[in-house]
């Protein structure tokens, strides 16, 4: 499986570490950048490009990394077709794939050790979407809104 990695300066060290660790696990890693540490870089450009590459490459997944992962998740989710999930423990990493069919995981490098973050990413990458009808229905609702920008009617209270 191809895995795209993008980060900012806060996630640079973790990105470099993950590129090696995931490669050893047999993943085909594509490093979107940055190519070198720059304390003044901005995360959105790397997240947009990571998201665009994942969407253009069916079956691939992505990882975006920053200090907290929050901004990276928000930026990646601006790319049409991206479903980025912020993972802060093993359950959220797995559920992002299993329930939400997330195609990108966001991780906060300042929130986890290298080993913890690697475990989160590995859990995300190794978990499949459940295919459950209720989860597929919910994903379809999000996709419909993302496409049409028409609010669905509220259910009767």
Residue 144 counted as an annotated binding residue: no
Active-site annotation holds for 40: no
Residue 100 counted as an annotated binding residue: yes
Residues 6+ apart with CB under 8 A from 10: 43, 65, 66, 67, 109, 110
Residues 6+ apart with CB under 8 A from 33: 6, 7, 46, 49
Residue with token string 């190519």: 35
Residue 77 counted as an annotated binding residue: no
Residue 138 counted as an annotated binding residue: yes
Q: Mapping DSSP to helix (H, G, I), strand (E, B) and coil, where does residue 108 land?
A: strand
Residue 9 counted as an annotated binding residue: yes
Q: Within a 10 A sphere around the Cβ of 26, how many other Cβ atoms? A: 7
Active-site annotation holds for 99: yes
- Which listed residue (49, 72, 98, 112) is catalytic? 72
Nearest alpha-carbon partner for 43 in 18, 5, 7, 73: 7
Residue 2 counted as an annotated binding residue: no
Residue 89 counted as an annotated binding residue: no
- Which listed residue (13, 17, 99, 135) is catalytic? 99
Residue 135 counted as an annotated binding residue: no
Catalytic residue IDs: 72, 99
Residue ranges of the annotated binding site are 8-9, 67-71, 100, 110, 134, 138
Residue ranges of the annotated binding site for D-ribulose 5-phosphate are 8-9, 67-71, 100, 110, 134, 138
């Amino acid at each position: 499986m191809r895995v795209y990695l993008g980060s900012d300066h806060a996630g640079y060290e973790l990105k470099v570490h993950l590129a090696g660790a995931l490669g050893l696990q047999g993943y085909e890693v594509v490093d979107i950048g940055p190519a070198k540490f720059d304390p003044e870089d901005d995360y959105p450009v790397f997240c947009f490009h990571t998201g665009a590459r994942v969407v253009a490459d069916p079956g691939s997944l992505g990882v975006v990394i920053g200090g907290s992962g929050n901004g990276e998740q928000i930026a990646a989710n601006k790319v049409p077709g991206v479903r980025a999930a912020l993972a802060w423990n093993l359950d959220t990493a797995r559920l992002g794939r299993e329930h939400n069919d997330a195609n990108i995981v966001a991780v906060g490098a300042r929130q986890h050790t290298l080993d913890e973050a690697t475990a989160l990413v590995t859990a995300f990458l190794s978990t499949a979407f459940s295919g459950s009808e209720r989860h597929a229905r919910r994903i379809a609702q999000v996709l419909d809104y993302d496409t049409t920008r028409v609010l669905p009617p509220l259910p009767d209270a």
